[in-house]
A = this chain, B = another copy of it.
Amino acid sequence: MPDPSLDVLCIGNAIVDVIADATDDFLTDEGLVKGTMRLIDAGEAERLYAHMGPGRQVSGGSAGNTAAGVAALGGRAGFIGQVAPDQLGEFYRHDLTAAGVEFITPAADVGVPTARSMILVTPDGHRTMNTFLGAAQHLPASALDEEQIRGSAILYLEGYLWDPETPRYAMIRAIEVARRASRKIAFTLSDIFCVDRHRDGFGALLDDGRIDILFANQAEIEALAGVPHLDTAIAAVSGKVETLVVTRSEDGALATRGGERVEVPAEPIDALVDTTGAGDLFAAGFLVGEARGLGLERSLRLGAICAAEVIQHYGARPEADLRALAGELFA
């Protein structure tokens, strides 16, 4: 196969975040479960928006955050996702492109606007997400640029994109194209509730050997394995993928590959501000390392450095110079 033109090509929901402060009472009144992500329809989105406080808009989406992280680290990143031809869609495309990410999926007028997630931040710093998937949930397989997929060292997919049916088929097609081009395929379980919703589908992907690199946090891997014990869950899942990466917040991260198991501590931080994007940025660092063949330990450490940066400020995309932070690890 020819040398790849991209290190990491990320596919996911193209979502603009609308972030507002909220009280615990507000969550209670709205019947929301703190710290979770729920999917809502257009009517509920309009109703909730009318009730919530003033907000700020920033581009988000799990895989989009990862793509921005890959680019910030100096890797060659691409993103596949669908926006509508509207102001939010232009905003989303601008932010990724300005971050140095190749984003060529066309905007699609399918009668719904660009996706948005209303993120309510309570005084304790927790975030409760209410996501209207809009145009993102209609990403068709026909929108894929297969040449781009064949030219990427790693295809990275977010579990969230499994929720709506149309992009699920687009993901399956993207996996096929990458597999035939002998590229690596990485997947994140995204969220414990996402695992609950799609345990069968995710399990089938793994059983069929379609995933080379699997990302999960402790809760997600335990949910997937159906056992409330980390090492048992790792043992159950690690045989199904070439590489398993488990992130454990302040307890660091670990990866298994064949008989090898490597652990790294979390990077020291000055102050925890906002954990949003920690997993997305960990994946960015790890994947850049893998794309460049740096080996498990250096890849894990790159992931830990990227995650540490993003949790020390508000927002899920990097603000500091990740390449400088990585230093000799990725020179």
Contact = CB atoms under 8 A, between A and B. Distances in A.
A264 interface: no
A322 to B, nearest CB: 14
B317 A95 contact: no
Contacts of A68: 54
A226 interface: no
A38 interface: no
A56 B316 CA distance: 12
A55 B319 CA distance: 11
A96 B54 CA distance: 7
A56 B54 contact: no
Contact of A57 (B56, B98, B113, B315): B56
A306 interface: no
B98 A52 contact: yes
Nearest to A99: B54
Contacts of A50: 94
Interface string A36-63: 0000000000000110111111110000
Contacts of A20: 98
A163 interface: no
A319 B123 CA distance: 12
Nearest to A53: B98
A129 interface: no
Given A20-B98, A54-B59, A55-B95, 7 more contacts: A50-B94, A54-B68, A54-B99, A54-B317, A57-B58, A86-B87, A87-B87
26 contacts: A20-B98, A49-B94, A50-B94, A52-B98, A53-B98, A53-B99, A54-B59, A54-B68, A54-B95, A54-B96, A54-B98, A54-B99, A54-B317, A55-B91, A55-B94, A55-B95, A56-B56, A56-B58, A56-B315, A57-B57, A57-B58, A57-B91, A86-B86, A86-B87, A87-B87, A87-B88
